[in-house]
Structure 1
Amino acid sequence: MKTSRRHFLLLGVSAGSAFVLTRAAFADTANTLSESDPKAQAVGYKEDASKVDKAKFPGYAAGQSCANCSLFQGKASDAYGGCTLFGDKQVAARGWCSSYSNM
């Protein structure tokens, strides 16, 4: 099969797009806050609010999550977003920490 210049360019664009999308996805996951991070541990951050130790954090109430916290810098529909507490790290929208505020 003879490869045309157009076919070659389309293959190059497709491969380049896949590379860029893969790098962007990797960058997003590399920039997420881990529960083992010392700053996260200091405020009891959990990626899933349903796993919060209610005995250790009596201020937690059902329905509280990063997505509806005033410190969350993403949209409520985002899976991850920024938080003013953690600088450039992304927190899970379904997460929670003891600094939760809805003001």
Structure 2
Amino acid sequence: MKSSRRTFLITSIGVASTFALSRQAFADAPKVAESDPTAQALGYKADASKVDKAKFAKFVPGQECSNCSFFQGKPTDAYGPCPMFAGKQVASKGWCSAYNKKA
């Protein structure tokens, strides 16, 4: 019984430290530039108030990365990971045409 408990504790510590390291890796990930080809294709703006409403008619004021279902940061984070921009962070106040309101 002791060995299985010890194995569990060692495994738990390893998983927790891996999670902490991956969270730090996300925090250190580069931020998406509006000049990035994917950003341009999706109409990404780091500041949603600067979205070209004529070009992106589906944009509605109030839509921001922080309230998009794809945003993987906390709502209070200034930047967070987004699967649309693999390995990069988007501004929580940003917007792109892949926007999908969180449920």
Tell me whether the two structures share a fold, i.e. TM-score over 0.5.
Answer: yes
1:37-93 CA deviation, whole Å, 9 max, x = no partner?
A: 000000000000000000000000010000000000000100000001111100000
The secondary structure found in structure 2 opposite 1:60 is: coil
Partner of 1:93: 92
Partner of 2:7: none
Give the count of matched residue pairs. Answer: 77
Task: Give the number of the structure whose alpha-carbon radius of gyration is greater.
Answer: 1
Partner of 1:7: none
Partner of 1:35: 34
AA aligned to 1:32 is K
Unaligned runs of 5+ in 1: 1-23
Counterpart-to-counterpart distance in 2, 1:40 and 1:94: 15
TM-score (norm 2): 0.71
Partner of 1:47: 46
Q: State the percentage of identical aligned residues.
A: 62
Q: RMSD between aligned alpha carbons?
A: 1.6
TM-score (norm 1): 0.71
* Runs of 4+ with deviation above 6 angstroms: none
Partner of 1:71: 70
Larger helix percent: 2
AA aligned to 1:91 is V
Unaligned runs of 5+ in 2: 1-23
